Amino acid sequence: MEQIKQQVRAYILDNFIVVGASSEFQDSDSFIEHHICDSTGFLELIGFLEEKYGIKVEDEEMVPANLDSLNGIAAYIVTKRPH
């Protein structure tokens, strides 16, 4: 879980322009509320998750609970990834 959060955080900081207080976002912080991601940003993030973790994000799984925070993403990836 921690490794996934670190990897996703690194991807966000490398690829999005995140400045000021937003760059210090916590694992539980909402990307939307902290202006880190809009809908286009989520599409980019989904592309990264699919490629990095070998998963397919289904349409019905594109909900904020799965994608709108590092905690949400890590929990989601763990459930999706082949064991």
Partner 1 sequence: MNRTPSLRRQDRSALTPEVLRLDCKVEVERIAAGMVRIVGEQFRRRGALVAMSGGVDSSVCAALAAHAFGPKKVFGLLLPERESSASSTTRARQVAEQLGIRWQTEDITGTLEAIGCYRQRDEAIRRVFPEYDGSWRSKIAIAGGTEGRINFFNLVVESPDGQIKMSRLPLREYLQIVAATSYKQRIRKTIEYFHADRLHYAVLGTPNRLEYDQGFFVKNGDGAADFKPIAHLYKSQVYALARHFGLAEEICDAAPATDVYTMPQSQDEFYFALPYDKMDMALWAHDHAVPAHELAAWLGTDEKHARFIYRDIENKRATTRYLHARAAVIDPLPEIDD
Interaction site with partner 1 (CB under 8 A): 32, 38-40, 42-44, 46-47, 59-60, 62-64, 67
Task: Indicate the residue among 2 and 59 with the shorter CB distance to partner 1.
Answer: 59
Whether residue 49 contacts residue 39, with contact meaning beta carbons closer than 8 Å, is answered with no
CA–CA dist 70, 50 (Å, integer): 15
Task: Indicate the residue among 40 and 79 with the shorter CB distance to partner 1.
Answer: 40
Task: Indicate the residue among 25 and 72 with the shorter CB distance to partner 1.
Answer: 72
